[in-house]
């Protein structure tokens, strides 16, 4: 797989030279066709005829779940104010306490399948290698691939392992799709049941939330993947927004390698992202002819959908994520980076996404991000095997607190607290008290069923 192939698949160069007409046309259609959006413009005292340039476009109101899905009937958010019976509905996780919906129209279902197939072929050659894709995504999320066998099992590690044990011999490769902590559980449970993962050719696609770079290394170690040898398997990430699309952002292997370099060399991370960046972000690319991305001064990410056939268009929609642009050419010319820079064309859009940017504080000022705690949990693979990957962090003075859930059967003791304190302090400079708790004692109503995003912050 070459980056030029990926680049061509994402976009045609002449389409990218001037996106303004595409953006303005998407706005005019939404303003004229969508009753809810027309009302939003009226309330903001904006006439659609006033919007004739990108600078004008950036004066439009920013919308979010509260001002759309909570305020209007679903039909009013659709074109012509009509809820056409779709082929499918995607529901957001409700992590924010609010729900939003993505609509998959009947006539675009085949197109979505084609895009998924193209991506699977691009990354894994799924059209030419017999492939078993085990979909471990929760909430009934579908992967409409047709180029391979798809097993939608949700969050059942016993089913995943049974499929591998019973069917692996019929396929050249297996792709596991799910959230990091659950894929960890699948691989560990499979090892308990006698699977030697390194004997198989297995890839992983993680989603739901950013993956810690140390967690990626841990999954690779369980699978016997050489992180510098993609021919041994890939652990890559994908990101979607339910109300917009499930596979909006892609982590191509070259960006995964760059992220690993930044993880190992914090000075390069500061050079590329700034010393005030809130941790190590995901590095993604995307199709700029499908979505238009803005990043505000406070790093909030704003998305506009550009597909004229989309039944529920969204103009300047706040996702809740924070992000920033990345210019690979800003990195210095040093060994190990030069080849990566050469294989990532300057016109390929690269965006750094940090997640929701939530944090707790010690002493009311020193910030601690969940992503930093995750790196600490997976820093030592021996320790990583003893936890579920779930934890809860709390504000504190003078010290913040972190409670860690141990894996079933692992007993808490003071030495575990000390060892995790040491690994977490590798990534967190603020003072933190760490307490490891038995699986069944990790209370406060925090049921660990992998069905929803885990709330790391109280």
Q: Where residue 294 falls among pLDDT bands split at 50, 70, 90?
A: very high
- HSE on the CB side for 405, CA within 13 Å? 20
How much is the average pLDDT of 373-388? Answer: 97
Contact criterion met (CB below 8 Å) for 4 and 277: no
Beta-carbon contacts of 369 under 8 Å, excluding residues fewer than 6 positions away, are 278, 279, 357, 358, 359
Residue 13 has pLDDT above 50, yes or no: no
pLDDT at residue 329 above 90? no
Per-residue pLDDT averaged across 47-55, rounded? 95
**pLDDT value for 260:** 92
The pTM of this model reads 0.90
Cα–Cα nearest to 205, from 262, 267, 149, 136? 136
CB 103 within 8 A of CB 234: no
Q: Is the peptide bond before 398 cis (omega within 30 degrees of 0)?
A: yes
SS (H, E, C) the chain: CCHHHHHHHHCCHHHHCCCHHHHHHHHHHHHHHCHHHHHHHHHCCCCHHHCCCHHHHCCCCCECCCCCCCCCCHHHHCHHHCCCCCCEEEECCCCCCCCCEEEECHHHHHHHHHHHHHHHHHHHCCCCCCEEEEECCCCCCCCCCCCCEEEECCCCHHHHHHHHHHHHHHCCEEEEEEEHHHHHHHHHHHHHCCCCHHHCCEEEEEECCCCCHHHHHHHHHHHCCCCCCHHHCCEEEEEEECCCEEEEEECCHHHHHHHHHHHHCHHHHHHHHCCCCCCCCEEEECCCCCEEEEECCCCEEEEEECCCCCCCCCCCEEEEEEEEECCHHHCCCCCCCHHHHHCCCCCCCCEEEEECCCCEEECCCEEECHHHHHHHHCCCHHHHCCEEEEEEEECECCCEEEEEEECCCCCCCHHHHHHHHHHHHCCCCCCEEEEEECHHHCCCCCCCCCCCCCCCEC
Q: Does domain 106-287+341-355 have CATH number 3.30.460?
A: no
Q: Say if residue 71 is exposed, middle or buried (CB neighbours under 10 Å; 0-12, 13-18, 19+).
A: middle
Q: Which of the four CATH numbers 3.40.47.10, 3.30.420.60, 3.40.430.10, 3.30.300.30 does domain 360-441 have?
A: 3.30.300.30
For the chain, residues classed under CATH 3.30.300.30 are: 360-441
Residue 17: the pLDDT is 47
Q: Distance between CA atoms of 211 and 332, rounded to whole angstroms?
A: 26
Q: What is the pLDDT of residues 382-420, one digit of tens each?
A: 999 999 999 999 999 999 999 999 999 999 999 999 999
Return the top range by mean pLDDT from 208-222, 236-250, 338-352, 433-447. Answer: 208-222
Residue pLDDT, tens place only, 133-166: 999 998 778 888 999 999 999 999 999 999 999 9
Residues 6+ apart with CB under 8 A from 56: 50
Query: Does residue 203 have a pLDDT over 60?
Result: yes
What percent of the chain is modeled with pLDDT above 90?
65
Cα dist. 248→77, 99, 115, 208, 317 in Å?
21, 19, 11, 12, 14
The model's pLDDT over 434-456, given as tens digits with 9 standing for 90+, comes to: 999 999 888 754 555 677 778 89
Highest mean pLDDT among 33-42, 260-269, 283-292, 361-370: 33-42
Range with lowest mean pLDDT among 14-18, 39-43, 63-67: 14-18
Under the phi-then-psi rule, with left for phi > 0, alpha for psi from -120 to 50, and beta for the rest, what region is 194?
left
Interatomic CA distance for residues 216 and 221, integer angstroms: 9
What confidence score (pLDDT) does residue 1 get? 40
Predicted local confidence at residue 229, as pLDDT: 86
**All CATH 3.40.50 domain ranges in the chain, comma separated:** 106-287+341-355
- Cβ contacts of 27-31, under 8 Å, gap ≥ 24: 27/51, 27/57, 27/60, 27/304, 27/315, 29/79, 29/308, 29/313, 30/313, 30/315
Q: Given a cut of 90, is residue 319 above it in pLDDT?
A: yes
Rounded distance between C-alpha atoms, residue 301 and residue 303, angstroms:
7
């Amino acid at each position: 797989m070459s980056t030029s192939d990926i680049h061509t698949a994402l976009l045609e160069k002449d389409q990218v030279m001037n996106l303004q007409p595409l953006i303005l046309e998407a706005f005019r259609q939404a303003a004229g066709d969508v009753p809810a959006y027309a009302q939003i413009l009226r309330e903001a005292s904006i006439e659609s005829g006033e919007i004739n340039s990108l600078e004008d476009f950036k004066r439009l109101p920013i919308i979010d779940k509260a001002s759309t899905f909570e305020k209007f009937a679903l039909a009013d958010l659709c074109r012509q104010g009509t809820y056409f019976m779709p082929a499918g509905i995607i529901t957001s996780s409700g992590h924010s306490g609010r729900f939003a919906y993505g609509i998959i129209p009947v006539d675009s279902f085949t197109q979505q399948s084609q895009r998924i197939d193209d991506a699977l072929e691009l990354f894994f050659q799924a059209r030419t290698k017999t492939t078993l894709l085990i979909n471990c995504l929760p909430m009934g999320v579908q992967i409409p691939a047709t180029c391979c066998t798809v097993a939608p099992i949700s969050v059942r590690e016993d089913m995943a392992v049974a499929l591998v044990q019973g069917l692996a011999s019929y396929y050249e490769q297996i792709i596991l799709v799910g959230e990091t902590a659950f894929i960890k559980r699948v691989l560990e449970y499979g090892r308990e049941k006698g699977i030697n993962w390194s004997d198989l050719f297995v890839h992983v696609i993680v989603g739901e939330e950013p993956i810690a770079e140390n967690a990626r290394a841990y999954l690779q170690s369980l699978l016997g993947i050489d992180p510098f040898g993609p021919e041994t398997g890939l652990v890559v990430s994908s990101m979607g927004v339910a109300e917009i699309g499930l596979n909006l952002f892609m982590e191509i292997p070259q960006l995964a390698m760059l992220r690993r370099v930044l993880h190992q060399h914090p000075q390069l991370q500061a050079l590329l992202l700034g010393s005030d960046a809130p941790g190590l972000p995901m590095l993604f690319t995307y199709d700029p002819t499908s979505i238009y991305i803005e990043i505000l001064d406070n790093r909030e990410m704003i998305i506009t959908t550009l597909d004229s056939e989309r039944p529920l268009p969204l103009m300047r929609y706040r996702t809740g994520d924070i992000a920033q642009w990345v210019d690979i050419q800003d990195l210095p010319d040093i060994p190990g980076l030069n080849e990566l820079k050469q294989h990532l064309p300057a016109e390929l859009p690269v965006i750094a996404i940090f997640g929701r940017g939530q944090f707790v504080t010690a002493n009311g000022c020193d910030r601690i991000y969940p992503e930093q705690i995750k790196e600490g949990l997976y820093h030592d693979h021996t320790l990583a095997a003893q936890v579920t990957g779930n934890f809860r962090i709390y504000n504190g003075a003078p010290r913040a607190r972190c409670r860690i859930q141990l894996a079933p059967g692992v007993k808490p003791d003071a030495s575990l607290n000390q060892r995790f304190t040491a690994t977490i302090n590798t990534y967190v400079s603020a003072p933190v008290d760490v307490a490891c708790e038995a699986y069944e004692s990790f209370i406060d109503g925090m049921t660990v069923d992998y069905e929803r995003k885990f709330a790391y912050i109280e």
